[in-house]
Chains A and B, each alone.
Chain A
Amino acid sequence: MSNDNGPEFLGKNPDGSNPGSRTNNDPDLQLAVNREGQVLAMEELAETEGSKAPTRSAPKMSFGRWATQLGWRHAVAIIAVLFALFPILYIINVALNPVGSLSASCPPSKTGISALTCLAPSTVDFSNFTAIFNDPLKPFGTWFANTLTLALVVSFLSTLMSAAGAFAFSRLRFKGRRPGLLALVLLQMFPQILAITAIFILMTSIKEVFPLFGLGSVWGLLLIYLGGSLGVNTYLMKGFFDTIPVEIDESAKIDGASHVRIFFGLVLRLALPVLVVVFFVTFTFIFNELAIARVLLPDLRDTTLAVGLNTYVSGNLQEWGKFAAGALISAIPMLLVFGITQKYLVTGLTSGAVKG
């Protein structure tokens, strides 16, 4: 164990002594990566798919052989696909039904297997989609804009700021680095939701003095999210930066590159995959966040999607059609960000920027 490793249980960082000497087989990389392994795993998926050597090309298989070797795989996959698709098909049907109640989207007369036909839209009517944009008490457009602004701005700023912090922790030596890292480890284990009372009181005080950033303001919530995401992200990225060989920045330094150039031109570029991962994870988290948003933005006229859409289907008046329409529109940004980041990562990897 080296001296700059924080507490023993970190485990993620078993070889902190000389970050430069690490290779990609180092468990440290796997762990740093694995913390958010979902997207990195995707890269590997894409890579293996793209570059797979043609395996023993099976010419013609007998049905029996096909069934034992591949057929059962298809069977399991199809069951899994049905499980995955079921709720998605259902919500599309509910959204396209103008009556907007659960019983209207699937008449009670249909029971048993025939109820499965409810998964195919019986009507195609977009009145739910237009209705949610024309309700001044529940303005879906405002919710959508608020949520998207929060998720995009916070993900961007948080990624940048935590990359800077991670750079300092990973590349620079300074007094207080070790206690700083330890504090970071502890802080990132304290989710903001646990401090929600304190946040509520803090925002009430801020409202008195700075109304623009206080309780009930999207910008105030933005600051809270930003503060809450920095600990985890810095910690994550520090682990990844450690896996980028120091020789690279050292040679750049010898060439006369300034620290600004090394950070923005080199480290950020080499760490692009993890930056994208962090961006995606932060985006998803904020897009879905309910607890803090509900306390800080209680007014339905100016709140987020997670808080607002829930009100369509809780309480006595349940408007499933409007909810379904709103939810389907809400899914678009997340699907887009998911799709874009996935591709970006794959190109980043295949160009050999990280795996040299």
Chain B
Amino acid sequence: MSVQAPEKAKAPMVAQPSGKFSAWVVKLIILGVIDVLGIWAIAQSLAAEWWLAVVFFAVVLVLVNVTYFRRGGLPFKYLLPGLIFLVAFQLYPAGYTFGASFTNYGTGHVLPQERVVGAIIAQSSRPVEGSPSYNVVPVEKGGDVFMLITDPDDPTKALLGSSEELVPAENAEFSGGKAVGLEGYTTLNLGSLAGNPDLDQAWQELTVPFEPEDGIYLKPQSPTRASEARSTVVYDADADTFTNSETGQVFSPNGDVGLYTTEAFDNDAGEARANQGEFLTPGWPVFVGVDNYTRILTDPGVRANFIPILLWSFAFAIGTVLMQFVFGLLIAIVMQDKRMKGQKVYRLILILPYALPIFMTALVWKGMLNTDFGIINQIIGSPVPWLTDGTLAKLSLLVVNLWIGYSYMLLVVTGALTAVPGDLKEAAFVDGASAFRAFRTVVLPLLMVSVSPLLIASFAFNFNNFTLVELLTGGGPFPGSPIEGGQTDLLITYTYRLAFGTSQQLLGFASAISMVIFIIVAGISAYGFRLTKKLEEIKA
């Protein structure tokens, strides 16, 4: 290392005093802005009664001021900015996932227990035959859908209904004796509902308490009409039970499964068909212990999906790393001869796949491998189902990932090869070893020392290579329903679908699989790095 750098650094220090003062002013301004923002954030969180955020912002505010105003504590001046983001957006979600993996959080178990009562009433209400229909219009604000109702008693007034309450609407616009809009809200119609499935679903499911004491609610029939509906269950607030007004069944809160259930409900069967009619939906999330984890291994239905997906995840990750490495190594060796002309051009083109976005390359391959119109089948001259046959789809994934990733390995290996001392290779030749033998016994072991940590990292990356699989095959083909997993599903794409992909979201179960993935990848990385260390010791 040259001594240049410290000298250069010394030069501007002459101007330090005045520089120090202005730096101090800048620091004061920055901290002032942070304090103002922090206090505003605390106030907002307080108003929303989001206590976790209140604590978080308060701690951040104190830490920032203490760290940057006191003398000393230098390390924390450097650590704090990153630490704040790391804790909020990495540590907290990771911890939350760990916690959620012990719950039954998911579709039907999202709302806290105190809000479940209203949701049950809304879900179990049925249309009242012969009831009048009401002039309504859906309005939207901030992604939430409300029902704007023309007051049946006084058509010059309007009411605004949500799933929680019905309030008078001020400043409504009227047209033709009907309320058609409300200040601050966007009026929706058939077209805008059709264009946005989320809003449409929210509108379909909207149940507005109309005369809740009599069990009467309003439900939309169309984007302009709503009718009365009566709940089939009646809630008794004192006893905290529901009674079915037709059958007389009594449902009481069951903390083991997070549902209102009858006496006959079988906790072990859960929400399976065996318990049909013995519970009310939705429920609330409850702690279920290690059920999600044991379910992976003991539930025959789940196990039948999980094991093949697990094996394919390993096969995909290992196969990808091996293929990319071997192909990259081969080309690196081929290009090693310095007398070879046109090397720069070759390299430039061969590196291209690595410098292109994956969403571009993966989807181009999807087009090229299309059974009916893809260019590959046109060249072959027969409709090979590259992406729709299980085995071929697996093969296609490996080949496409080879295309995407070999140039990375080419770069890595070329770099590592230049680090292998040339005299070692020559010495091996002098000993009479063949080129292949010299390579295998001398060059390759040295190469592996520096490359193996990368291979492990590449394994970890590809084990969770969501983007490629999602874009190329989407996890398919699917022999059964998508929730049972597809033939090219990796654990990560399977988990993602469990959490977000279908109408039923199994967030607690998905979290448990996430933890399993983490343990697998971390364990293999740990083991791999230990092996690497051994390799290094051999080299030393």
Contacts and interface: CB of A to CB of B under 8 A. Distances in A.
Contact of A174 (B75, B337, B344, B363): B75
Interface string A247-260: 01001100111011
A193 B500 CA distance: 12
Given A52-B338, A164-B78, A223 B89 contact: yes
Given A45-B415, A248-B1, A288-B358, A186 B522 contact: yes
Contact of A231 (B74, B86, B96, B539): B86
Given A194-B514, A197-B511, A291-B466, A189 B97 contact: no
Contacts of A101: 373
Contacts of B474: 314
Nearest to B373: A102
Contacts of A266: 5-6, 9
Nearest to B450: A30
Interface string A200-216: 11100100111100001
A12 B373 CA distance: 48
A81 B350 contact: yes
A27 B365 contact: no
B301 to A, nearest CB: 21
A8 B500 contact: no
A352 B374 CA distance: 50
Contacts of A339: 355
Given A201-B96, A248-B5, A164 B81 contact: yes
A240 interface: no
Contacts of B526: 7, 9
- Pick from A73, A103, A167 the residue with the most CB of B within 10 Å: A73
B517 interface: yes
A180 B82 CA distance: 13
B10 A226 contact: no
Contacts of B331: 76-77, 80
Nearest to B196: A299
B104 to A, nearest CB: 13
Interface string B190-219: 000001001000000000000000000000
A246 to B, nearest CB: 11
Nearest to A295: B500
B375 A90 contact: yes
Given A189-B522, A261-B13, A313-B363, A41 B416 contact: yes
Interface residues on A, range: 35 or more
B370 A310 contact: no
Interface string B507-540: 1001100110110011001110110110010011
A11 B530 contact: yes
Contact of A230 (B86, B340, B349): B86
B518 A189 contact: yes
A7 B92 CA distance: 23
A173 B78 CA distance: 12
- Pick from A196, A290, A295 the residue with the most CB of B within 10 Å: A196
A187 B414 CA distance: 31
Contacts of B414: 41, 44-45
A211 B373 contact: no
Contacts of B444: none
A83 B399 CA distance: 11
Contacts of A245: 1
A168 B77 CA distance: 9
Interface stretch (B42-50, B173-181, B228-236, B481-489): B42-50
A23 to B, nearest CB: 10
B69 interface: no
Nearest to B525: A189
Interface of B is mostly: helix
Contacts of A164: 78-79, 81-82
B453 interface: yes
A168 B335 CA distance: 42
B90 A187 contact: yes
Interface in A270-319: 270, 287-291, 295, 298, 305-306, 309-310, 313-314
Given A11-B530, A87-B368, A209-B45, A115 B378 contact: yes
B366 interface: yes
Interface in B9-64: 9-10, 13, 23, 41, 44-45, 48, 50, 53
B373 A103 contact: yes
Nearest to A305: B359
A202 B96 contact: yes
Contacts of B532: 11, 31
Interface string A102-130: 11001010111101101100000000000
Contacts of A165: 78-79, 82-83
A255 B533 CA distance: 39
Nearest to B461: A191
Nearest to A41: B415
Contacts of B374: 102
B484 to A, nearest CB: 20
A252 B10 contact: yes
A309 B81 CA distance: 34
Given A227-B89, A290-B466, A44 B368 contact: no
Contacts of B449: 27, 30
Contacts of A49: 343-344
B433 interface: no
Interface of A: 7-12, 14, 27, 30-31, 34-35, 37-45, 48-49, 52, 55, 58, 69-70, 72-74, 76-77, 80-81, 83-88, 90-91, 94, 101-103, 106, 108, 110-113, 115-116, 118-119, 137, 161-162, 164-165, 167-169, 172-174, 177, 180, 186-187, 189-202, 205, 208-211, 216, 223-224, 226-228, 230-231, 234, 245, 248, 251-252, 255-257, 259-263, 265-266, 269-270, 287-291, 295, 298, 305-306, 309-310, 313-314, 320, 323-324, 327-328, 330-331, 334-335, 338-339, 352-353, 356
25 contacts: A8-B533, A11-B530, A14-B533, A37-B416, A52-B338, A70-B339, A77-B331, A84-B407, A87-B361, A103-B373, A161-B81, A164-B81, A177-B75, A193-B496, A194-B492, A194-B495, A195-B90, A195-B93, A196-B496, A197-B100, A230-B82, A288-B358, A306-B467, A310-B359, A310-B363
